[in-house]
Amino acid sequence: MERPKEGTGAVPWPVCELVGSTGFHLGETHPLRTPGPAGADIAAGARGTAMSTETLNPDHLTDHVIDLYVKVKDPADPARGHVPQYHYKITLHGSEEEIGTIRLRIGDHPALLTAGHIGYFVAEGYRGRHFAERACRLLAPVALEHGMTTIILTCDPANAASRRTCERLGAHFAGIFGVPANHEMYQKGARMVCRYDWVLNTQG
């Protein structure tokens, strides 16, 4: 799922610069972290395609199995404790049919320890094919462009599929934590989250 996002007392996030209210400035690209064995094939595909151009295009990412297309670039909302985020639709490669969505939250905020940096949804008929893992890996270069070297992932402790996705990414299990009563997720019924730390490679 995701990392510090919503909550109270917004924290400055000098890792990226907003362009008006809908875009971000990006720098140079970086390679992905060495994956765990289970995800090596997927990571290789994501690395080879997402990093194939000199300048990363964050609006369209592909590993030739799935494509990510930006739907919205939300600016920060300090009053609500929200950091900037990219909102992508997920499609099969070469198709325009949306099979899911994924969000990448940029920067740091205490509430992201509960919500995480990444949140995704895959339509029921497309689950079990590692599309969520592929989408997360495609977002890694975008996160690195914004100076983010560790991605917080969270999920419901009972969601075995999401926990397996975190494990396949090679993320470190940090534990199971209570959802603060003032967090938006608490208002929606969440009480506990698993938290994983996904460390991205910055060594080239």
pLDDT of residue 144: 95
pLDDT of residue 193 exceeding 80, the answer is yes
Query: The dihedral of CA 118, 122, 128, 133: what is its sign?
Result: negative
* CA 65 and chain centroid, separation: 18
Tens digits of residue pLDDT in 74-107: 999 888 878 999 999 999 999 999 999 999 999 9
- Residues 21-35 have pLDDT tens digits of 223 333 322 233 333
In this predicted model, which residue has the larger pLDDT, 182 or 15?
182
3-state secondary structure of 182: coil
One of 3.40.50.300, 3.90.1200.10, 1.25.40.10, 3.40.630.30 is the CATH number of 17-199, namely: 3.40.630.30
Quick check: 7 pLDDT over 80?
Answer: no
85-124 burial: b if 16+ Cβ within 10 Å, else e: bbebbbbeeeeeeebbbbbbbbbbbbbbbbbbbbbbebee
Q: Where are the domains of the chain?
A: 17-199
pTM as predicted: 0.75
Q: What is the mean pLDDT of residues 56-73?
A: 95
Average pLDDT along the chain = 79
User: pLDDT tier at 52 (50, 70, 90 boundaries)?
Assistant: very low
Checking if the pLDDT of 3 tops 50, the result is: no
Burial of 187 (0-12, 13-18, 19+ CB in 10 A): exposed
Q: CB of 104 within 8 A of CB of 117?
A: yes
Span of 72-86, 144-158, 168-182 with lowest mean pLDDT: 72-86
